[in-house]
Structure 1
């Protein structure tokens, strides 16, 4: 992963396919594989937001592999 730029609370990154696969696997496990009591408190985001990020990463990976 390379940082392209940082501005306030936003970062622009370059992430390779392997790094995206790792993120996809971790997010999939959080969203679908385990039960997390007090999800938002423990994870720091709502389950809906985490699953939306998983979906976005999945779409990026699908486009990379097409």
Structure 2
């Protein structure tokens, strides 16, 4: 991972396909491995927010595969 830029509220990073795969797998485990009643408390985000992030990461990985 390479940090490109950051501010108080946002950051821009460059990650490899392998790093994105790790992130994708971790988000998938979090989404499916924690009971709904404790999800928000343990993660600090709703299951829907995590699912949206997972979808975004998966979409990026799909686009990267299409470029090969």
Partner deviation per Cα, 1:14-56 (whole Å, 9 max, x = no partner): 0110000000001111112x13341011011110000000000
Unaligned runs of 5+ in 1: none
Aligned to 1:24: 24
Q: Does 1:38 align with 2:38?
A: yes
- What is aligned with 1:15? 15
- What is the Cα-based RMSD across aligned positions, in Å? 1.0
In structure 1, C-alpha distance between the alignment counterparts of 2:6 and 2:34, rounded to whole Å: 34
Runs of 4+ residues over 4 Å off in structure 1: none
Higher helix share: 2
Q: Count residues in correspondence.
A: 65
TM-score by length of 2: 0.88
